[in-house]
Amino acid sequence: MTIANPVYSTKFCRYGAEALREAALLIRAGEPVAVPTETVYGLAADATDSHAVAAIYSAKGRPSFNPLIVHVADSDMARGLAVFSPVAETLAKRFWPGPLTLVLPVRADSGLSPLVTAGLPTVALRLPAHPAMRALIRESGRPLAAPSANRSGAISPTRAEHVLASLDGRVRMVLDEGPTSEGLESTIVAPEAGCIRLLRPGPVTAAMLEEATGMPVILGKGDVAIEAPGQLESHYAPSKPVRLNVMRAEADQYMIGFGLMPCHINLSPEADLREAGANLFAALHIADASAAARIAVAPIPTDGIGAAINDRLKRAAA
């Protein structure tokens, strides 16, 4: 399929009642709109409209169709789209609204565009905590498919300015509601018989999932072989070479620190992993825009949310 790339004048709006109404009208007309969530800014479009979903891929310059996360405003909407096992119910009750995406069997009568699921028998569902995203779903009356609002393969946006830098002229509207609180994309899990499969580490950690369900958390894709961005080896990538686990930067490196240490920017001087996660992508954006030829990142512990931080860093450096 060939998709034209129309050039728009992108409207940058502070989130509020009027901006919300306008955004919902664009969604109903099949246009993608950039909107904040608690994780990263998403490029949202009507998940029931194949043209709207195709327009997301076109704006991002994503070369092929991969399954997208469908965002819902409440659990009733979620239950109309997918089949919830008892474990899925437990996870939804405990972590929704919030940064957890559940991969569940899609209902035959979901009404979702087949482009959203990329032909898989499952759909990835998330009930976000951010009021802007939920209000947009309610106001447009549609489940919204939304990947991160950046050009394919680039660093994820945690501020509206990051969206504009990446997608100016490629989307009609960006809703600005300041920096996102989590800063890392949602945790993605597939509840299976006897275990929880962790498809993408994120703000909801493996320990939290185990504690909530009493079930073991298994890493990796299992037999669902999908080649989706975000699970590709190189993703979230700055334009410059990135070196990890660096203790002391060389002269041509922009140093991203963690804990008290000499550096250009510090993810968390107090060595707080949650704070480091919230600051990670903004730091990569700044490092990428700096005069330095290369980027260096200090070692980040792998426990808790550190697993998600290291996952994103590994892909940024690949």
Site residues (vs ligand TXA, CB under 6 A): 37, 39-40, 42, 67-69, 101, 103, 117, 120, 122-124, 126, 146-148, 185-186, 188, 199, 224, 226, 228-231
Verify binding: residue 39, Mg ion, rule CB under 5 A. no
CB of 74 to ligand TXA, least distance (A): 16
Query: Which x/- pattern over 115-154 shows residues binding Mg ion (rule: CB under 5 A)?
Result: ---------------------------------x------
Of 83, 156, 144, nearest in space to 116 by CA: 144
Nearer residue to Mg ion within complex by CB, 59 or 249: 59
- In the chain, the amino acid numbered 182 is E
Task: For residues 226 and 120, give the distance between their C-alpha atoms in angstroms, rounded to a whole number.
Answer: 9
236/185 Cα distance (integer angstroms): 11
Residue 117 binding partner per list Mg ion, ligand TXA, none, with a CB distance cut-off of 5 to 8 Å that depends on partner kind: ligand TXA
Based on CB atoms, which residue is closest to ligand TXA, 249 or 316? 316
Partner whose footprint covers residue 175, from Mg ion, ligand TXA, none (CB < 5 to 8 Å by kind): none
CB 257 within 8 A of CB 263: yes
Choose among ligand TXA, Mg ion, none what residue 75 binds, the Cβ cut-off being 5 to 8 Å by kind: none
Which one, 158 or 268, has the nearer CB to ligand TXA?
158
266 in contact with Mg ion (CB under 5 A): no
Tell me, by CB under 5 A, how many residues bind Mg ion.
1
For ligand TXA, give the closer residue by CB, 126 or 315.
Answer: 126
Measured from the CB atom, the residue of 130 and 172 that comes closer to ligand TXA is 130
Tokens of 234: 């190189």
Which residue, 119 or 262, has its beta carbon nearer to ligand TXA? Answer: 119
CB of 66 to ligand TXA, least distance (A): 6
Q: How far apart (Å, rounded) are the C-alpha atoms in residues 12 and 268?
A: 30
Range 226-260 burial, b when 16+ CB lie within 10 A, else e: eebbbeeeebbbbebebebebeebeeebbbbbbbe
**What is the closest distance, in whole angstroms, from the C-beta atom of residue 111 to ligand TXA in the complex?**
16
12: which DSSP letter? Answer: E
CA–CA gap between residue 184 and residue 262 (Å, rounded): 25
Q: Tell me the longest C-alpha to C-alpha distance in the chain.
A: 59
Nearer to ligand TXA, 10 or 231 (CB): 231
Q: Please, what is the minimum distance in Å from the beta carbon of residue 306 to ligand TXA?
A: 18
DSSP β-bridge partners for residue 265: 256
Q: How far is the CB of 122 from ligand TXA (least distance, A)?
A: 4
Residue 58 CB, nearest distance to Mg ion (Å)? 16
Question: Between residues 68 and 292, which has the closer beta carbon with respect to Mg ion?
Answer: 68
- Residues in region 244-263 near Mg ion by CB under 5 A: none
DSSP letter, residue 294? E
Label the pairing between strands 144-145 and 42-46: antiparallel
Kindly state the tokens that stand for 235. Answer: 């993703």
Is 166 a residue that touches Mg ion (CB under 5 A)? Answer: no
Q: What 8-state DSSP symbol labels residue 106?
A: B
User: Which of the listed partners (ligand TXA, Mg ion, none) does 32 bind, with a CB threshold of 5 to 8 Å by partner kind?
Assistant: none
93: exposed, middle or buried (Cβ count in 10 Å: 0-12, 13-18, 19+): exposed
Other CB atoms within a 10 A radius of the CB of residue 84 amount to 18
List interacting residues with Mg ion (CB under 5 A): 148
